[in-house]
Structure 1
Amino acid sequence: MLSLRAVNQFYGDRHILWNVDLDLLPGACTSVIGLPGMGKTTLINCIAGFLPVESGSIIWQEDGEIAQDLHLMQAAHRSALGIGYVPQDRRIFSQLTVEENLHIAVLAGGDAGNSLRQDIYDLLPELYALRKAKGAELADDLQQQLAVARALMTRPRLLILDEPTRGLGQAFIHKLGNLIVRLNQEFGMTILLAEERLSFIRRVTDRFYLLHRGRNVAEGSIKQLDDPRLLQWMTPEPAR
């Protein structure tokens, strides 16, 4: 479905991603893992189209369709292809209601969306009771639910979540895990998440890619995360 080959990215003169390769298989749930500052969010934003890449390819191809290189494609066009994105900072419209946030997502996707909105409320029933509340009035976990709901409004074939558990309580993290598993296993949605919480990763994902200083240093099935040789890449370096 999505293949990255030799992707390089810079912030000014800082080389952030170094020849990153990544393959997402249809119907799989894949995680990009690593310590803070190792390039996870940068990689996610390159895939979603919010950061340019210096070189390399990002190829999107669905069954029976022509492969497309997303390298120069704007984020809105990637969304129209079927790529949904939940950013780390959520980016909901704080002064609009839950209902209005979802309506804007529907308009962006070019769909009337009435039945789809009800589907979203069935998946996230807490939002239905709060549909007239403004985004700014919602607790953090409900804002995250709204961010996920908004991404789902266009029926994405690939859902990308950047650090979805950061700063949230254990009860919501458990519910979020249930939702991701359901979207993946019941609805067949391909999912990519950048995440640091290993217990969550082990629960919801099939495969992982480990980044260290912007480089692929390991990848494999989720069971391979128990390999003690990976600990060197997942242990914070001592302060100098």
Structure 2
Amino acid sequence: METMQAKDLYSFYGKSPVIQGVSFDLEPGEFLAILGRNGVGKTTLLKSIMGLTDRCDGGLIFGEQDLLSRSTSQRAKLGIAYIPQGREIIPNFTVRENIVMGTFARPDGKREIPDYLFEMFPILDEFIGRKGGDLSGGQQQQLAIARALAMDPKILILDEPTEGIQPNIVKQIEDAIIRLNRERGLGIILVEQNVPFARRASDRFMVLDKGRVVLSGLSKDLTDSVVEKHLTF
């Protein structure tokens, strides 16, 4: 399993640096929560890892691979799966077709849907022939996670996966993310506003402000005073 390392990472939209001097390590199977107020660069950091900003400088290594020299699709084939805000499922494709799309990033060429996805998200098995656009927001999020898992990733990157989702499904999604990390050994990078979930799920956290890391530590160090100082509005 590979370690991901960002060193003095800068990321730009046009000529403006949004991410400034960010460094972190993600060990194999580790869970990193990225926290911060709105507009501080959390989503941009995730997009930077996937090569979705205009330019990045600094260092970004996965195993022995230099990610900054690789395209978004090449990064996916190295085993990095990204679930953006808004989920971006294809509404006119069925649940099955959406999940199978995820397999196209597999380097081994396999197109089978892993059985454990339906054990983890039974509703997807029940609705396998329905169009993705007919699912509720929470069900679409489950579908987006399943599609990412179908590529057999080593790291799963999630951008506020429970935002705007009906409360009865939020805990299912949170528990699934924790299981993927603890039972299947997936590395997780999570942007999340829900501090109790981040505290419960993660090994380490990192707080961004104005594109810079202002605090990082173990999840047990994510105290109420830290939250009040850096995360309350």
TM-score (norm 2): 0.94
Selected match of 1:224 from 215, 221, 224: 221
Question: Hey, what does 2:109 align to over in structure 1?
Answer: 111
Question: Hey, what does 2:52 align to over in structure 1?
Answer: 50
| Distance 1:230-1:146 versus aligned 2 partners, 3 A rule | closer
Give the secondary-structure state (helix, strand or coil) at the position aligned to 1:188: coil
**2: CA distance between counterparts of 1:10 and 1:104?**
30
Question: Hey, what does 2:117 align to over in structure 1?
Answer: 120
Q: CA-to-partner distance for each residue in 1:157-204, whole Å, 9 max, x for gaps? A: 111101111111222111111111111111111111111110111121
Instruction: Give 1:199's aligned amino acid.
Output: P
**2: CA distance between counterparts of 1:180 and 1:214?**
26
Q: CA-to-partner distance for each residue in 1:19-47, whole Å, 9 max, x for gaps? A: 01111111111111101100000000111
Work out whether 1:153 is the aligned partner of 2:155: no
Farther off after superposition, 153-162 or 219-228: 219-228
**2: CA distance between counterparts of 1:8 and 1:40?**
13
Q: How does 1:1-240 map to 2 (within 5 A)?
A: 1-61=3-63, 67-109=64-106, 110-114=108-112, 116-226=113-223, 228-229=225-226, 231-236=228-233
RMSD: 1.4
CA contact (8 A) 2:13 2:53 kept: no
**1: CA distance between counterparts of 2:124 and 2:220?**
35
Give the secondary-structure state (helix, strand or coil) at the position aligned to 1:46: helix
| Distance 1:36-1:163 versus aligned 2 partners, 3 A rule | same
Cα distance, 1:72 vs. partner?
2.3
Instruction: Give 2:61's aligned amino acid.
Output: I
Question: Hey, what does 1:64 align to over in structure 2?
Answer: none
**1: CA distance between counterparts of 2:4 and 2:211?**
19
Give the secondary-structure state (helix, strand or coil) at the position aligned to 2:129: coil
Any stretches of 5+ residues in structure 1 without a counterpart?
A: 62-66
Cα distance, 1:230 vs. partner?
5.2
Give the secondary-structure state (helix, strand or coil) at the position aligned to 2:128: coil
Cα distance, 1:229 vs. partner?
4.7
Give the secondary-structure state (helix, strand or coil) at the position aligned to 1:71: helix
Farther off after superposition, 120-129 or 144-153: 120-129
CA contact (8 A) 2:34 2:205 kept: yes
**2: CA distance between counterparts of 1:13 and 1:52?**
9
Q: CA-to-partner distance for each residue in 1:111-162, whole Å, 9 max, x for gaps? A: 3333x43231122111001011101101000000010000000111111101
TM-score (norm 1): 0.91
Any stretches of 5+ residues in structure 2 without a counterpart?
A: none
